[in-house]
Amino acid sequence: MDPRLADLIKLLDLEPLEVNLFRGESRDIGSPQVFGGQVLGQALTAAAATVEGRIVHSLHAYFLRRGDFNAPIVYQVDRSLDGHSFCNRRVVAIQHGAPIFNMAASFQIQEEGFDHQMEMPPVPAPETLPDSSRPPQEMLARLPEGVRRFLERPRPFEFRLVQPMEFLSQRKAPPARQVWFRAVDKLPDDESLHRRLLAYLSDYFLLDTATLPHGLPSFSGRLVMASIDHAMWFHRPLRVDEWLLYAVESPSASGARGFARAGVYARDGRLVASTAQEGLVRLRKESR
């Protein structure tokens, strides 16, 4: 397996410390704090470790404090419900003696029922789009050092953007974006693993979509942005080592907060998951 992907899977695995208590490490991916998707994926690992015979179908999380990637994170699980069809778990991530994140997740046995969905938006096939995993070298040279460090890091996923990313342009655009993505290598046939990896990846592209109508690229250095909450619903089986389309839109921004939601579609048009996020979007004081 590609070492980047193998390292991510290892990162999402946790060390059991005691009943309902787990410990995870972090990776410095070039951001000033622990990547939110990492905490989402690890918290889902902790919750799933206390559940048998059921698969996660939804999660709702809040980011409380910045995570320190130089220190371990402890995950404490509360077994809120073990029902006939559903299980519910609450997870608190703790670092330096304080909660940095909490999450509720629901798990369900496999059942048959009504089935309908919204259609996938018409977009070009991923093979017709350029690899957008990192900006061109000439663009990287013009970005702030912290941003450049973040974008240059090798990633375990490849991205194909339908709309080119505006790194420095002041051009305003509609608050919508479509991105094809997939893991860089083949993964085991483990639905739980694929959902944890999608949780990790789902923190990309959501919040910065809320900046598009305002002509202030998230990489310009003029914005303060941070996730506040994050929700996911898993609708159908999925594979993150096959192309998935992230169709993101931002219906609203107000009160120094941006809101975005997205559908995740398989190549064959199936809606496999949905996400939503609200986050802080604020101009730096010197930029006002």
DSSP bridge partners of 254: 257
Cα–Cα distance for residue pair 140/275, rounded to 1 Å: 30
Rounded to 10°, the helix 191-201/3-12 angle is 100
Rounded to 10°, the helix 36-48/3-12 angle is 60
Cα–Cα distance for residue pair 160/126, rounded to 1 Å: 6
Is 287 designated active site? no
Question: Given 38, 218, 227, 250, which residue is catalytic?
Answer: 227
Cα–Cα distance for residue pair 178/159, rounded to 1 Å: 10
Inter-residue contact 103 to 91 (CB < 8 Å): yes
Cα–Cα distance for residue pair 180/245, rounded to 1 Å: 4
For residue 210, give the amino acid letter. A
Is 277 designated active site? yes
Inter-residue contact 180 to 126 (CB < 8 Å): yes
Question: Given 42, 106, 202, 203, which residue is catalytic?
Answer: 203
Angle at 250 between CA 138 and CA 128, to 5 degrees: 50
Q: Name every residue whose Cβ is closer than 8 Å to that of residue 120 and which is 6 or more positions away in sequence.
A: 245, 247, 263, 265, 269, 271
| Residues annotated as catalytic (active site), given as ranges | 203, 227, 277
